[in-house]
Structure 1
């Protein structure tokens, strides 16, 4: 299997494969454990408690505060690998996967690997998405995607637009607004979950789909894109910084042009606009359609010995989440074991 950047998917499958007698190897593009978590912003916190942020087989230890920090989660991932002694080859980036007869040939920066079956767990972190706007190339200010954001220091005393209405947009806006003038651009009015609802309820939706309100027959439908009130978001709400605006119509060299034609100067744009599946390595297999691979569960329909884990709902409900991926990883491992037995 290979895990160019995302981490939970590859490790979850490895946990279930370890119970079998199969020989397998994790090819990891990173030099250290942590995958995409190594590249997230400094103050990032998970939006569910540690027991709901755990991989299969071993619960994450209780953290100092309710929501684990980036460093606490990186430590957990490292210890998880050591606990199960997974076979991992670091600093190995899978550039291309081709099929030769009944075998896969994986071409990497560390040579060629041959395998009967392949699990792709590259996730989305290597494919940041930035929407197309008129005259975007004429803007002279700074533009970064949330995947490259580390902290608010470069934006001190600047005029900044944060684009994107999900959890990353809200958390980054809350942080940057402390040191800069900010405006928040979202496609629709963002939804803030009630204070008592966090990631643990969102992940339970992987089983139940809906969260029932207490003492009512109604149901509260929640989404993974709804904003959880972690500490930074609560602080932002208290400071009234979440004043959302609908998208501007165009850029000009010094800033943006709003829908009413008004120009406004800005120094920087932070794109919190999500990601697309990273599937470049699978192009030679000719199975990618509209940024996806047709699968049954996680198994590729057109390449029956290829599995895709952790890319989103098309590879299993909530499979792009830490908690949700374990459910699909278990099925994946079972199918691999059966196919090779």
Structure 2
């Protein structure tokens, strides 16, 4: 059984970023990842996915996204960037390794997979927060003849049967998918209240430059400005969908789904309509049932942590939404988050 100073679970941008810091610190570590190659978590998302963060903000410690990438990178640009990043810094990644259990042992932690086990003094969980698609219970009451999907498995408009489709959700993923589907389908989008839209740019300048210059991106999550911004963190970046809603190209129902009956979807205001296809873009629920460490998770199964530091000695988290800042879960948040977390990791080792 191999032993390491540290073991990182998850080989996406957060895992690679903290891997860079561990290499910098001279620790003996391993990154384990369930995917077949670096970047696959991005490659598996829908074909037209485009980041709302511009290229100058898409970087990891020690390396920027190449200027050959579009100003608003596509998902494959990020996937290729991660692959190149791992190769450039020769980060040790064990692919096709699905973690089945993490538990405390005398040496620190035992990480068990389907065909191997590792021990490490410290474990950093970089598996993200988007695991198991969250779908309302009422979906099971829709007739089998109604096509249903989730944004997690959506790839392209041809995945959805022709005709009328309901997209449920009010975030950026729901907005991008509804916008794309509207070119080939009759689209209704339902959200829990009004959808907040922000322009992608102001006076030709990306909104992210404004967030950067005002200090919002790097402000601590507990700072006054962060507490003000946080309720608006689901704001849709870009107004393409809003224009289509205003023109009647896309129908918007500003009420949540409360029930389903055969092919009828019932909304919170009592409205109801029939849909032959429903695409749920209703987010994810945490799925950390493999973390068998007392004190690591709260009663809902979510990580207990403060800026990535667990109350359990030797256990750390990175890449969670609002872990330390507004952009903690975004590519451009990894550099600052990994630097701060590495400091905490090394401090604990002294």
What whole-Å deviation, never above 9, does each CA across 1:71-122 have from its counterpart, x for those lacking one? 1111111111111110111101111001112420001023111110000011
- The residue aligned with 2:218 is 207
What whole-Å deviation, never above 9, does each CA across 1:14-33 have from its counterpart, x for those lacking one? 11111112100000110111
Instruction: Report the TM-score when normalising by structure 1.
Output: 0.87
Of the three residues 282, 296, 302, the one matched with 2:291 is 282
How do residues 1-341 of structure 1 correspond to structure 2 at under 5 angstroms?
A: 1-4=7-10, 7-133=12-138, 136-140=140-144, 141-196=146-201, 197-202=206-211, 205-208=216-219, 221=229, 223-229=232-238, 233=241, 236=244, 240-245=248-253, 246-259=255-268, 261=270, 263-289=272-298, 290-301=300-311, 303-314=312-323, 316-341=325-350
- The residue aligned with 1:214 is none
Higher strand proportion, which one? 2
- The residue aligned with 1:217 is none
The answer to whether the 8 Å contact 1:142/1:269 transfers is: yes
Deviation at 1:131, TM superposition (A): 3.1
The answer to whether the 8 Å contact 2:219/2:326 transfers is: no
Deviation at 1:58, TM superposition (A): 0.7
Q: Following the alignment from structure 1 to structure 2, what is the Cα–Cα distance between the partners of residues 225 and 63?
A: 30
Which SS does the other structure have where 1:336 is aligned? helix
Quickly say closer, same or farther: Cα 1:43–1:310, change in 2 above 3 A: same
What whole-Å deviation, never above 9, does each CA across 1:116-146 have from its counterpart, x for those lacking one? 000001112322222333x643433122111
Q: Following the alignment from structure 1 to structure 2, what is the Cα–Cα distance between the partners of residues 24 and 66?
A: 34
The answer to whether the 8 Å contact 1:26/1:89 transfers is: yes
Quickly say closer, same or farther: Cα 1:240–1:324, change in 2 above 3 A: farther
The answer to whether the 8 Å contact 1:50/1:63 transfers is: no
